[in-house]
Amino acid sequence: MFKKQKKFVLNTTVDNKIVSEGKPQYFHLVWLLKRFLIGMIPAILSQLGGLQTIMLIFVFEGYIMYMGYSKPFQKSLQNLKTIVSQTIFMIIIYHVIMFSDLVLDPLVKSMIGTSQVIWLGILITWNLLFITIDSIKDIRRRKHLRILR
């Protein structure tokens, strides 16, 4: 009697696994806007180091809030991975700005540089962890497919 209606899905991509489940998603637009602003803020506000820092942190925080609210990826682990990576990258950008001529004391610059290297190591480790997990899953899937043949 009643036909089952298919769910209307906008903005579906296989590679990034972005599915909006019927509501419009602006993930790609927001991502491009974030990249544009991160590139333009240092160029436009080159003489205003303090305002430059505040604006860059604001852009990163806005993107992180957007990711947390909209959850554009199907898997919650992918959303978490993206949010944590962006947070760590925001901290690294803050270190880069502080490592410039904003801070004149060499001892403080040394401490900032050490902290930046540690945060870069954390970011690399975080991303390599998920690359390793995905590779192991892929190997298991291939092994399972060979058994099925």
Q: What is the DSSP letter of 11?
A: S
Long-range contacts made by residues 117-121, C-beta under 8 angstroms, separation at least 24?
119/88, 119/91, 119/92, 119/95, 120/92
Confidence band (pLDDT; 50, 70, 90) for 3?
Answer: low
Q: What angle do CA 113, 50, 119 make, to 5 degrees?
A: 25
Q: What is the pLDDT, as a whole number, of residue 114?
A: 92
Q: What is the pLDDT, as a whole number, of residue 119?
A: 93
Q: Which two tokens stand for residue 148?
A: 């099925």
Per-domain boundaries in the chain? 27-148
Given a contact cutoff of 8 angstroms between Cβ atoms, the answer to whether 9 and 21 are in contact is yes
Per-residue model confidence as pLDDT tens digits over 50-95 = 788 888 888 989 988 888 888 887 778 888 888 898 899 889 888 8
CA dist., res. 102 & res. 56, Å (int): 15
CA dist., res. 36 & res. 30, Å (int): 10
Q: What is the pLDDT, as a whole number, of residue 132?
A: 94
pTM of the model: 0.69
Q: What is the pLDDT, as a whole number, of residue 124?
A: 94
Q: What is the pLDDT, as a whole number, of residue 48?
A: 80
DSSP per residue, 78-114: HHHHHHHHHHHHHHHHHHHHHTTTT---HHHHHHHHH
Q: What is the pLDDT, as a whole number, of residue 14?
A: 44
CA dist., res. 44 & res. 40, Å (int): 6
Per-residue model confidence as pLDDT tens digits over 13-54 = 444 555 555 555 677 888 889 889 988 888 888 788 778 888
Q: What is the pLDDT, as a whole number, of residue 128?
A: 94
Mean pLDDT of 1-16: 47
